[in-house]
Chains A and B, each alone.
Chain A
Amino acid sequence: MAGKRTINIPLNRVEGDLDISVEIEGGVVTDAWCSGTMYRGFEKILIGRGALDGLVITPRICGICSTAHLMCASLALDMIGEVTPPPDAVRVRNIALMTEKIQSDMRHGFLMFTADFVNPAYKECDLYEEAVERFEPFKGVAVIEVIKETKKILEIVAILGGQWPHSSFMVPGGVASIPNQNDLVKCRLLLKQYRNWYEQRILGCTIERWLEVKSVNDLDQWLETCDSHRESHLGFYIRYARLIGLDRIGMGHDTFISFGALEFPVGTSLPMNGNQPRLVSAGIKHNGTIDLFENEKVSEHVTYSWFDEVDGGSHPMDGKTEPYATGYEGHKYSWSKAPRYDDKPAETGPLAEQIVGNNPLFNDLLETYGASVFTRQLARLIRPATLMPSMKLWLTEIFPDCVFYIPPGEIINGEGFGLTQVARGALGHWVRIEDSKIAHYQIISPTTWNLSPRDANGIRGPAEEALRGTEIKDIDNPVELGHIIRSFDACLVCTVHAFSKDRKSRIRI
């Protein structure tokens, strides 16, 4: 592999509309470009519509994260309507969002990410046969289990919100549906069943036992002290991921962002998380320190994106979405903008949540392995363990005869934003209402942070940076690149899902 070579990789197992280009020299990736290949224009569609229309339209942005978009749309309107939702409405909103996350984490983990574990590149590995047994598409034990076990859990959102996906039950001031006692009992049962499966098959231990793991040393001891830990799907992930070297690839800029999520409802018996008003902390970790998150420091650059040029970055309350693609722009290469915090790229997702939350295990993992593919994916696989106990508690704290809605002030003019942490990371909606109509709507999704193109300063996005330096063993089967991109759980859109004759013609890794 002497000399420089550029290869283009359509990653159809990411979403079908992300192309990765890498430049390879001497078998090592020397540069990378992540290109979103589809313009959707939701932010334009929303302009001129009724003030509340974001509650209906934005959940349609994604078939997987629809509750997440609804949460952000509602939070922005809460701010504009100057209303604080009552505690039980906060609980209902939180539980719905958490449900979406714990389902998505398992589906991504064992239907998408570990599919690469059975790549022929690993045929000679000691554990390959066991990997096939667990993760082979359509057949693997873990694959079948995950499909069966995850089909029910989203019923919690349907019970609380009337439907999933694309529900619109969160409204400024609270929620529009009031769960009765039977609803709550059913939600608790669904959660209990999911937790039992997660503990028995994914962790191989109770959540309480897993949460005792606070260092790399603890992790190694946990793995070795009990067969059920070692033989669980998580235990196998840890052993196999290290065996194939996922702890040595995929480090990005080492800057992490979390918008924070899951506000503590007033009066909850859940212990507070230090001074943080939310279960998932907000903040930025950069150069070894965790700083408070400041909304004013968020911006989006479009220098390398197919949008009307502006100098530097614009705050999403000022930014515009004006597509501009004549084919002659030269340097522009993505329909994704480049979000930046304090003009720097930042990685978001489950790992960022753990790092910003100062979790000792992940601090130690970061020190030991860096923000590698192994560490990033481990954070996703164990996230349900950090959420389910709080879900259970909040479900028991809801009383049907309480207040679930407080009428907001009139939403005629005003600005607001809704920020939260969703399955793939930091999600934000920035909204301006004028004369009861949407005058401005900007959305920054987690994948825009992670898969961003270069910014006005020419700085690569987190995934682009994570690809650099990767050694490619077989240029015809660059499985290493697939591991890295998929560890960010990239999601560019839900698009046309028609059954197409040509679908099988795409190249993939």
Chain B
Amino acid sequence: MLEVKGLRKVYQSGSREVEALRDLTFTVENGDLVCLVGPSGCGKTTLLRCLAGLLAPTAGDVRVDGKAVDGPPEGMAVVFQEYGRSLFPWMNVRDNVELPLKQKKVPKRRRQELIEQSLDAVGLTGSAAAYPWQLSGGMQQRVAIARAVAYEPRTLLMDEPFAAVDAQTRADLEDLVRELWKRLGVTILFVTHDIDESVYLGQRVVMLSSSPTVVQDELLIDLPADRDQLTTRADPRFIALRTRVYEQIQAAKKNAER
């Protein structure tokens, strides 16, 4: 379970203060898939870095499974937007996936199993020996996902992971995330600026306001668990939900302008 309570982050550069996050409170239950959506520049990445223990908040706290986060917590994996920079170019796909497992002191035989399973799961069975830069953008992000999955996290944070891939690849990767989530029972927090994506993927959508950021609204996505790109996106319920999220985001932007 991921609990965020009264989270505030103020960046200080010299005498200038920038309040990125004002007051955020929300919870992600175990096994839930929650999408965080907000207008661009609303501090989504700041929030994610606070959750991942990579950045210390100014006030408030983050708890993972009841334990306060003061550094990268155990049992958490992060998938970054910049897959090209997150993968290590000096290692092939297999070594990229294996390195975090070595750091976690997973025994060798188990590592081999995990690498194979995770590469199979993301559809990269034959690419273990390739270097990341030999793969397309979509495939690189699959490697990053495989690396996170092999790590067997209880919580998976994804920071706009598909913002830099083309639309068709993006649809495939969205379905991959849903499929992995259902199969592994992992808790996923998925940050995005794409309203359709948040509704399509999430069980719940948390909408953020413009910076300084608060939680604007939360919405339960009561779509069937089995979703697919054609029927789900044409479902009247999907359209109603995306309209609702869209309105809230627009309202958030207007509030900021006032």
To the question of whether A and B form a pair in one complex, the answer is no
Which A residues contact B (CB, under 8 angstroms)?
Answer: none
Which B residues contact A (CB, under 8 angstroms)?
Answer: none
